[in-house]
Amino acid sequence: MKSARFFSLSVAVLCCIPAIALAADDEELGWQQKYVEKPDAPLEQELELDVALPAYPEKKNLMDLKIATDGMQYTVYLDKPSLVLDEDGVVRYTVVLVPASGVWNVSNEGLRCGEKQYRRYAYGIDGSWQRLNNSSWRDVRGNGANRYRLILYKQYFCNPMRPYQSAEQMLDSFNENWHEM
């Protein structure tokens, strides 16, 4: 009887070891289940493949957002003409991140306010767009060079105190809020 009980207990413990080891691996690597990407709904993917890209940004149209990037030395600019609120409720815009070297890092993106998610539609290289057709929606977080998305989300584009703003109203909010949150 004792050996049957010992065997059952041993089997139960051995079954738990792989799960414990996997959980330990997840924590070491920083992976958590809530950050695993989910595939977009097929209809949404079909609709968004046709998103029109704006004109490539010009220096005269860039607005310095004065957003710190947590130890990463970038100046973050918004291309004013690219800011639109589309019929699907997605705020689309182009940002230009410029390090001390002066090289432009250009990204055309969208923010979904209700879901607190962003998606990159294209990146810029040598004055033209390179479309990212298979990019997926990701959670907005505020770390490092990506911190600008959280500030844009909270303070300017998805501010719950100013729901349903037009692109012009969003641009006006930058004039009112020159300081960071």
List the domain boundaries for the chain.
Answer: 2-35, 42-176
**Does residue 159 have a pLDDT over 50?**
yes
**Sequence-distant (≥ 6) Cβ neighbours of residue 62 within 8 angstroms:** 77, 78, 79, 80, 96
Output the CA torsion 142→99→174→63 (10° steps).
-150
Lowest average pLDDT, out of 79-93, 121-135, 162-176, goes to: 162-176
Question: Quick check: 119 pLDDT over 80?
Answer: yes
Q: Which two tokens stand for residue 13?
A: 């413990």
pLDDT at position 24? 33
End-to-end CA distance of the chain: 66
pLDDT top residue among 42 and 88: 88
Q: Which CATH class is domain 42-176?
A: mainly beta
pTM of the model: 0.68
User: Between β-strands 138-139 and 62-64, what pairing exists: parallel, antiparallel or unpaired?
Assistant: unpaired
Q: How far apart are CA 52 and CA 106, in angstroms?
A: 16
| Range from 46-50, 86-90, 102-106 carrying the lowest mean pLDDT | 46-50
* Cβ-defined contacts of 40-47 (< 8 Å, 24+): 40/136, 40/137, 47/88
| 170 or 109: which leads in pLDDT | 109
Q: Which three-class secondary structure state does DSSP give residue 143?
A: coil
